[in-house]
C-alpha cells in the first residue's frame, strides 16, 4: 500500500516545513503533497515554489499538488515552472 501525506503549509517557517518533509520521507510516506489555494492566512506558501523546495530537500519521495489552479498563471509560465520542478 502506498500512503502519501499533505502536511500543513500555513503558519510554518521554511525550516519547519523542510523538517516536516524529511520526517515524512524518513517515516516511509511514498508521496508528499501541497495545495494551491489562496487562503488569506499569513505564511501560506505558493504551491509551485513549494514543489521546487520539496524536490531539492527530499531524496526519493514523490511530490505533487492536490489541486493546481492553472488559471492563476499564464500557461507558458506554468509549463516552465513545472518543467523546472521536474528537472530538480
Q: pLDDT tens per residue, the chain (88 residues)?
A: 999 999 888 888 889 999 999 999 999 999 999 988 877 766 788 889 999 999 999 999 999 999 888 888 999 999 999 999 999 8
pTM, to two decimals: 0.84
Give the integer Cα–Cα distance in Å for 73 and 65: 15
pLDDT value for 65:
92
SS3 82: helix
Place of cell 511530490: 63
Give the integer Cα–Cα distance in Å for 15 and 2: 26
pLDDT value for 41:
67
The DSSP output letter for 44 is B
Place of cell 488569506: 40
Q: Which helix (H) or strand (E) holds 34?
A: strand 31-34
Amino acid at each position: 500500500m502506498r500512503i502519501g501525506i499533505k502536511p500543513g503549509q500555513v503558519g510554518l517557517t521554511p525550516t519547519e516545513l523542510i523538517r516536516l518533509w524529511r520526517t515524512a520521507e524518513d517515516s516511509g510516506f511514498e508521496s508528499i503533497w501541497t495545495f494551491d489555494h489562496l487562503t488569506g492566512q499569513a505564511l501560506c506558501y505558493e504551491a509551485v515554489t513549494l514543489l521546487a523546495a520539496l524536490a531539492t530537500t527530499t531524496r526519493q519521495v514523490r511530490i505533487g499538488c492536490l489541486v493546481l489552479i492553472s488559471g492563476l498563471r499564464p500557461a507558458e509560465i506554468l509549463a516552465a515552472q513545472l518543467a523546472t520542478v521536474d528537472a530538480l
